[in-house]
């Protein structure tokens, strides 16, 4: 069961960016565009979650967050999805298992910010995640140092690709991860709403 997701040709490389997107903003758009370029992805799917298990307070209603995400992220190779709600998954490992079952011939790459790498060892089944799918990590200025000392980075250091090898990540056997610096642009949410797209 594909849970309302589109047909995906065999061998398609899909980057997965999960989060509450509360609200989606220009930073999400920028790292998505960078991920498409830097990691050689065919598509990126935004997985708008029902809620973050590591956060005490719940996000805004899902419908509002989905609508905002679609408003902000307008790109032919980016899809906005509520897969986690449809599949009934709450944790990344559960979501990945469900996606891999629905799309056994697709290739998935998990995308995340460097701030998430710093706490990655607190995620459920985090070792299974890194040993199952390649991981692309996008660092904003100032986040690199904190992420370098991450437990996951220490344990899986020998599987790290250099930033200059980022195009190889999507087809590298897991465990594989790559850390790239992404200078951020100062764009306000009101600017994005006014334009309707980036």
pLDDT digits (tens, 9 = 90+) for 121-156: 999 999 999 999 999 999 876 666 566 678 999 999
CATH code of the domain containing 96: 3.40.50.620
Residue 3 domain flag: no
pLDDT tens digits for range 179-193: 998 876 544 333 543
Strands 160-161 and 135-139: unpaired
Q: Give yes or no for a contact between 109 and 15, defined as CB atoms under 8 angstroms apart.
A: yes
For 51-110, how does the pLDDT look when each residue is reduced to its tens digit (9 = 90+)? 765 566 678 899 999 999 999 999 999 999 999 998 999 899 999 999 999 999 999 999
Q: How far is CA 34 from CA 1, 37, 95, 121, 133, in A?
A: 31, 5, 23, 25, 19
Query: 157: Cβ–Cβ under 8 A, 6 or more apart, which residues?
Result: none
131 is a domain residue: yes
Is 40 inside a domain boundary?
yes
On whether the pTM is more than 0.75, the answer is: yes
SS3 44: strand
Instruction: Confirm if 45 and 4 have CB atoms less than 8 A apart.
Output: no
What is the C-alpha separation between 48 and 172, in angstroms, rounded?
26
Residue 45 placed within a domain: yes
**How many whole angstroms separate alpha carbon 69 and alpha carbon 84?**
15
Q: How far is CA 161 from the centre of its chain?
A: 18
Number of domains in the chain: 1
Confirm if 132 and 96 have CB atoms less than 8 A apart.
yes
The answer to whether 52 and 4 have CB atoms below 8 angstroms apart is: no
DSSP 56: S
Residue range of the domain that includes 29: 13-195
Note whether residue 2 is domain-resident.
Answer: no
């Amino acid at each position: 069961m594909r849970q309302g997701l589109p047909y995906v040709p065999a061998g398609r490389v899909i980057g997965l960016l999960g989060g509450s997107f509360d609200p989606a903003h220009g930073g999400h758009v920028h790292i998505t565009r960078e991920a498409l370029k830097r990691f050689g992805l065919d598509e990126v799917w935004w997985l708008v979650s029902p809620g973050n298990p590591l956060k005490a307070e719940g996000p805004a209603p899902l419908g509002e967050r989905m609508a905002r995400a679609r408003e902000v992220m307008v790109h032919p190779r980016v899809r906005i999805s509520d897969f986690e709600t449809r599949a009934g998954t709450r944790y990344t490992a559960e979501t990945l298992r469900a996606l891999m079952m629905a799309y056994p011939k697709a290739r998935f790459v998990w995308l995340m910010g460097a701030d998430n790498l710093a706490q990655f060892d607190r995620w459920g089944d985090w070792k299974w995640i890194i040993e199952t799918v390649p991981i692309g990590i996008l660092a904003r200025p100032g986040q690199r140092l904190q992420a370098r000392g991450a437990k996951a980075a220490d344990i899986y250091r020998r599987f790290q690709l250099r930033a200059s090898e980022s195009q190889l990540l999507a087809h590298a056997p897991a465990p594989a991860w790559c850390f790239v610096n992404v200078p951020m642009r100062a764009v306000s949410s009101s600017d994005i709403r006014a334009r309707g797209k980036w």
